[in-house]
Amino acid sequence: MAMQNIGRPTQPRAADLENHASLTGGRGLLQDEPLIFELGGWDKTGVDLEPAEHDASDLGDLVRAEPIGLPGLSEPETLRHYVRLSQKNHAIDLALYPLGSCTMKHNPRLNEKAARLAGFADLHPLQPVSTAQGALALMDRLAHWLKTLTGMPAVALTPKAGAHGELCGLLAIKAAHDDAGQGHRRTVLTPTSAHGTNPATAAFVGYQVAEIAQTADGRIDLADLAAKLGPEVAAIMVTNPNTCGLFERDIVEIARLTHAAGAYFYADGANFNAVVGRVKPGDLGVDAMHINLHKTFSTPHGGGGPGAGPVVLSEALAPFAPVPWLVSGPQGFGLIEEPAGEAAQAFGRMCAFQGQMGMFVRAYAYMRSHGADGLRQVAEDAVLNANYVKARLQTAMTPAFPDGPCMHEALFDDSWLEGTGVTTLDLAKALIDEGFHPMTMYFPLVVHGAMLIEPTETEPKRELDRFCEAMLALAKAAKGNDRERLKGAPYLAPMRRLDETLAARKPRLTWRPGTTGVAPAPLAAE
């Protein structure tokens, strides 16, 4: 019999690992990682470049004498730096990511495959349009789907994020008012529960912002809206479903009142995933709405972006849509790049070139792979999952609006924590120890100690149950004698709880100098 004669123990040795630390600071295969600037290597470069053929400079004594201060890392060093950082992060690819209002859902890999097709991925924004007809055709089809799903006649594809879309919508509204001699309208109304970007966008455009009160059941107070609408109001900005996860039942009346007062209705489309395929915003009287492709249409975001926030526009606002305009004619697709001719009333442009092409491809792949029926089910499942979480958690936690179902997110307040000394923040940090990204906390502002949970439609029941069980176990710990579990959390994250107050009051923007070569001077003092 041939026999392996070098034996080795195959059973783990029992050991007390409670206070075990490695000799060099690593945590197993999770490496401690400094800032890239602390890695240094100022005197080297990761790539070899041929010396320039003509090295005579016209810069004279303006030529930099000091090193530029970029770390000189090789490709593997650079790669390892970012992979190590990514290991300390949470991602939708690791577990449920219930960050309310953000729609952190799965990004289908089919989208990625489509976006990597050379005909899309290798485009240059300045190449002749005759050589990019396929890409323009895709943008045209995407525009068709967005217009059909929203029941709106026009869409501006270029805005690069939700807030950028809001800016686009308000600029179109402003242009329309100016054109109609209504430039004196200086006020934009937003509900108290609005996303912070709504009043911020209005202020950025130069409007005064006034708040619309909310009713006890979390909706817009119609009487207050009616009282505040007037000849100086340019627009209202309303999210539906709103940030409390509730459908604005009076939305048609809200639109009617708004239009009767001569104002436009801007809808924040951040929560469109709750109603896509079931409600057309155009039918509700919406004049402009951004659509976060990185939410409803599954393109990556949260560091994996970039985002994309196309804006659909009503008949009244369509003439003011920003250039470029995508048009089709006998020669195929073309782009109108200047506010002239057909696009004479365009208010300008939102960005250089044509927008986030990679996101257009992903969103279109998502639409086509789901189909109209699939998109309808997206909304149904998003709402079903949120209500499942709400139903399970309300056995231990207090829903902010207990009456009736929620839409795509479940909102709790912190009244169930009263007397425990445990806060919403503690609960969020403890959730990290349990392996989940925290829910959105302290937003919307109208709910005390708010916990806004958006599971999204891509979570299977097993993962929803795993999350609910973690939440229920933490709720039990908070109400019982295990509060340190929450108040000291996170215990198991790469970093323990940071002093946010100190960081905000006395930010330190310096780093330890690199270990090799000549380090640059630190950026700024404290």
Site string for other proteins, 433-452 (x = CB under 8 A): ---------x--x-------
Number of residues that bind other proteins (CB under 8 A): 6
Site string for other proteins, 471-500 (x = CB under 8 A): -----------------------------x
| Degrees, nearest 5: CA angle 398-101-265 | 110
Instruction: Answer whether 278's CB lies under 8 Å from 137's CB.
Output: no
In the complex, least distance from residue 160 CB atom to other proteins, rounded to whole angstroms: 25
Site residues for other proteins, 230-259, by CB under 8 A, read none
Give whichever of 52 and 504 is closer to other proteins, judged by the CB atom. Answer: 504
What's the CA gap between 202 and 189, in Å, rounded? 9
Query: Near other proteins by CB under 8 A, which window of 103-111, 256-264, 355-363, 501-509?
Result: 501-509
Instruction: Give the nearest distance from C-beta 196 to other proteins in angstroms.
Output: 9
DSSP 99: B
464 with 454: CB under 8 angstroms?
A: no
As measured in angstroms, the least distance from the Cβ of 305 to other proteins is 25
Closer to other proteins at the Cβ: 132 or 194? 194
CB of 504 to other proteins, least distance (A): 4
In the complex with other proteins, the residue whose CB is nearer, 130 or 415, is 415
* C-alpha dihedral sign at 172, 176, 177, 181: positive
Closer to other proteins by CB, 495 or 504: give it. Answer: 504
Q: How far is the CB of 501 from other proteins (least distance, A)?
A: 4
Q: Which is nearer to other proteins, 134 or 196 (CB)?
A: 196
Identify which of 214, 201, 316, 224 has the alpha carbon closest to the alpha carbon of residue 262.
316
**Cβ at position 500, least distance to other proteins in Å:** 5
C-beta of 63 vs 504, nearer to other proteins: 504
CB of 496 vs other proteins, minimal distance in Å: 17
CA torsion through residues 128, 130, 135, 139, sign:
positive
CB of 267 to other proteins, least distance (A): 24
* Cα separation, 308 vs 316, whole angstroms: 24
Whether omega before 324 lies within 30 degrees of 0, making that bond cis, reads yes
* Burial class of residue 497 in the structure, from the number of CB atoms within 10 Å of its CB (0-12 exposed, 13-18 middle, 19+ buried): middle
Contact between 238 and 220 (Cβ < 8 Å): yes
Q: Which is nearer to other proteins, 199 or 355 (CB)?
A: 199
Q: Which residues pair with 211 in a beta bridge?
A: 190
Nearer to other proteins, 50 or 499 (CB): 499
Q: From CA 106, how far away is CA 138, in angstroms rounded?
A: 23
> Cβ closer to other proteins: 288 or 450?
450
Q: Does 521 bind other proteins (CB under 8 A)?
A: no
For position 504 contacting other proteins by CB under 8 A, the verdict is: yes
Decide: is 526 part of the binding site for other proteins (CB under 8 A).
no
Q: Which is nearer to other proteins, 353 or 442 (CB)?
A: 442
Between CA 321 and CA 298 the distance in angstroms is 25
Q: Residues 7, 505, 521, 524: which binds other proteins (CB under 8 A)?
A: 505
Quote the CA–CA distance of 53 and 74 in Å, as a whole number: 25
CA-nearest of 509, 401, 488, 403 to 450 is 401
Is residue 137 left, alpha or beta, with left meaning phi > 0 and alpha meaning psi from -120 to 50? alpha
Residue 448 CB, nearest distance to other proteins (Å)?
Answer: 9
Residue 363 CB, shortest distance to other proteins, in Å, is 32
208: β partners = 187
**Residue from 8, 501, 521, 524 in contact with other proteins (CB under 8 A):** 501
List contacts with other proteins (CB under 8 A).
442, 445, 500-501, 504-505
